Structure 1
Amino acid sequence: MSARVLVTGAGGYLGGAVVRALAGAGHEPVALVRPGAPDVPGARETRAADLLDTDALRRAVSGVEAVCHLAGLARARESFDEPLRYFRVNTGGTIGLLEAMADAGVRGLVFSSTCAVYGSPDRQPMTEDLPVAPPHPYASSKVAAEAVVEAQASSGALGAIVLRLPNLAGGEDRDPTRLIPRVLDAARSRTPLGVNGDGSAVRDYLHVDDAAAGFVAAVEQLPAPGGFARYNLGSGRGTSILDVVAAVERATGRRVPLVHNPPAHEPQVLIADAARAIAELGWRPTRSEIDTIIASLG
């Protein structure tokens, strides 16, 4: 059954993919962007509002049946320098959105969170029953926002699903701070790539289109008001820095020169267990093998 769904952060990397996925599944995505941003391709309509502008948010949620809330700040290192800004936008902005939804009678929410909330657990892959241990203000602001969403759902005001995401990759990713675009740039320019330690750190890379499909599945299975669920999305496989380098070398036919920097204080392995989402949402990653991700970047 088709739904009219507001997508906050629709002008971003994940947001654009969610808009396309909703439209492809027969829904009517309404894109919410910052004032002055261009219209979002594939959206039925583009609306403008700042997360911290309560009046604009009330107008933005008018006439929709559900919201995919993706907007926010997401740079972990930056959050150490600007913790108040991260809580103001990620947590405070979520509160403002929930207030606007309550006023408008919108009773379905899918909230984009992060697997970073688990910190560096010894148990891998990471399941939803692990305790949270946020390692930086960005993750802490997401934990706080999740708590607000869960509390609002428990009050009976809405039904909500939280999706915790690992590292997104593929598609239109051109972010020079992320590993895979950096490795591709190094291959194309034949400039050395700096890596921490021996390059053996392992992460879970999820194709952005697989993540977007997870949001569609969540929208289509939102619980009734009063219901709440939390799911990890992820490829379920670990890929090291050296694995990424090897995949880029296979795809480009060019060697990637490496410079090994001192090891960083970071987790050795972080992999998301998405078994619950696969079983309960009927979702499954189909594009997240590393060679497929690299090929999708062109």
Structure 2
Amino acid sequence: MRILIVGATGYLGSAVAERLSNLGHEVVALVRPGETKSLDGYERRIGDLTDPGSLLPAVTPDIDAVIDVATPSGDADTDAAAIDALTRRLRGTDRVFVYTSGVWVLGATADGTADEHSATDPIPIVGYRPMIEDQVLALAQAGIRSAVIRPGIIHGRGGGIPSLLVDLAREHDAPLIIADESVHWPMVHIDDLADLFAEVVEHTPAATIWHGVTEPAVSVRDLAIAAGRAAGVTAAPRIWPLDQARAELGAAFADALALDQSVSARATRDLLSWQPQGPSAISDIQDGSYRSALHHES
């Protein structure tokens, strides 16, 4: 397949592009004007998600699928217009469009474990994202095999939110737990998630939601301790009051990090040939890519 990836130079996008390329697919990277990051030999096309007109020429008849892994703009109308532009030339072709959402649209899951069929209850940082998910799923009625992937908190390759935990532990000389040590995060290794994107783009039925989660509920206390060890910090973990975290990280993001969730991907595993093989979040952070990244920096 010839696959256009929006956000191919990002943390997740680069892993997805690498996986698809290794499987023999031809990757075409949509990048912003002036983007200078290496594309590993992929064809480059130019487009800006805030300028829908710039996206239309990128989706040519030779494109078999479009995967959007770009960071949302933060504006509902802008993101909706970008989705419309990216999919306009896919209508009536049975070609594939995959949109990247996230588990934060499910909100807190204190009453149990959320799955692919659970109702959304988004926190403010992703407040309009369910509307975009609905827009994507409705594209099935226009002859597009549209799908939504909701990743958990991504770890691996020394990046993502866990790298923030390592940086915070180093900066504060102690592992930090934001607001509440009883919080849990759904986790997924980036390489397993890239495998899921490949499975979805190759095999998805239309109008489907998939959860990219390998560990439904990992203790944030344990993650913070692992981050401290990766940073070479031996102090006991301590609570970082939410007001202080908000002041440093921004209120919406700090509140997201304080969100307690348990999220299942059982239906995703049952319906797709997805077989995650990556390390657990704790082992990866404590002894794997985050420790390696720290040693590389030093």
Q: Which TM-score tier does this pair reach, normalised by the shorter chain? A: 0.7 to 0.9
Q: Do 1:169 and 1:207's aligned partners in 2 also have CA atoms closer than 8 Å?
A: yes
Correspondent of 2:144 among 142, 151, 158: 158
Residue 133 of structure 2 is aligned to residue 146 of structure 1 = yes
Correspondent of 1:269 among 244, 257, 260: 260
Distance 2:146 2:268 in 1: 14
Structure 2 residue identity aligned to 1:199: E
Structure 1, 15-24 or 115-124: larger mean CA deviation: 115-124
**Residue 159 to residue 106, structure 1, CA distance change in 2 (3 Å):** closer
Which residue of 2 is the match for residue 113 of structure 1? 101
**Residue 237 to residue 222, structure 1, CA distance change in 2 (3 Å):** closer
Provide Cα deviations, 1:160-209, integer angstroms capped at 9, x if missing partner. 12111111122151x6xx3x223322454563454334522111121122
Structure 2 residue identity aligned to 1:38: T
Q: Do 1:182 and 1:193's aligned partners in 2 also have CA atoms closer than 8 Å?
A: no
Distance 1:230 1:128 in 2: 6
Unaligned runs of 5+ in 2: 244-254, 293-298
Which residue of 2 is the match for residue 82 of structure 1? none
Which residue of 1 is the match for residue 155 of structure 2? 169
Structure 1, 271-280 or 253-262: larger mean CA deviation: 253-262
Residues 9-48 of structure 1: pairs in structure 2 closer than 5 A: 9-42=7-40, 44-48=42-46
Residues 195-206 of structure 1: pairs in structure 2 closer than 5 A: 195-206=177-188
Distance 1:187 1:116 in 2: 24
**Residue 107 to residue 40, structure 1, CA distance change in 2 (3 Å):** farther
Which residue of 2 is the match for residue 52 of structure 1? 50
Which residue of 2 is the match for residue 78 of structure 1? none
**Residue 141 to residue 192, structure 1, CA distance change in 2 (3 Å):** same
Unaligned runs of 5+ in 1: 75-84
Q: Do 1:14 and 1:212's aligned partners in 2 also have CA atoms closer than 8 Å?
A: yes
Q: TM-score under structure 1 normalisation?
A: 0.82
Q: Do 1:190 and 1:257's aligned partners in 2 also have CA atoms closer than 8 Å?
A: no
Which residue of 2 is the match for residue 296 of structure 1? 289
Distance 1:120 1:253 in 2: 32
Distance 1:122 1:291 in 2: 22
Which residue of 2 is the match for residue 235 of structure 1? 214
SS in 1 for 2:274: coil
Distance 1:144 1:258 in 2: 38
Q: Do 1:13 and 1:172's aligned partners in 2 also have CA atoms closer than 8 Å?
A: no
Which residue of 2 is the match for residue 132 of structure 1? 120
Distance 1:250 1:232 in 2: 30
Distance 2:168 2:235 in 1: 6
Q: Do 1:234 and 1:271's aligned partners in 2 also have CA atoms closer than 8 Å?
A: no
Which residue of 1 is the match for residue 246 of structure 2? none
SS in 2 for 1:121: coil
* 1:153 to partner: Cα distance: 0.8
Which residue of 2 is the match for residue 211 of structure 1? 193
Q: TM-score under structure 2 normalisation?
A: 0.82
Distance 2:107 2:137 in 1: 21
**Residue 147 to residue 182, structure 1, CA distance change in 2 (3 Å):** closer
**Residue 254 to residue 279, structure 1, CA distance change in 2 (3 Å):** same
Identical aligned residues as a percent: 26
Residue 62 of structure 2 is aligned to residue 98 of structure 1 = no
Total equivalences in the alignment = 276
**Residue 184 to residue 42, structure 1, CA distance change in 2 (3 Å):** same
Distance 2:181 2:65 in 1: 42
Distance 2:289 2:63 in 1: 32
**Residue 51 to residue 109, structure 1, CA distance change in 2 (3 Å):** same
Structure 1 residue identity aligned to 2:36: P
SS in 2 for 1:203: strand
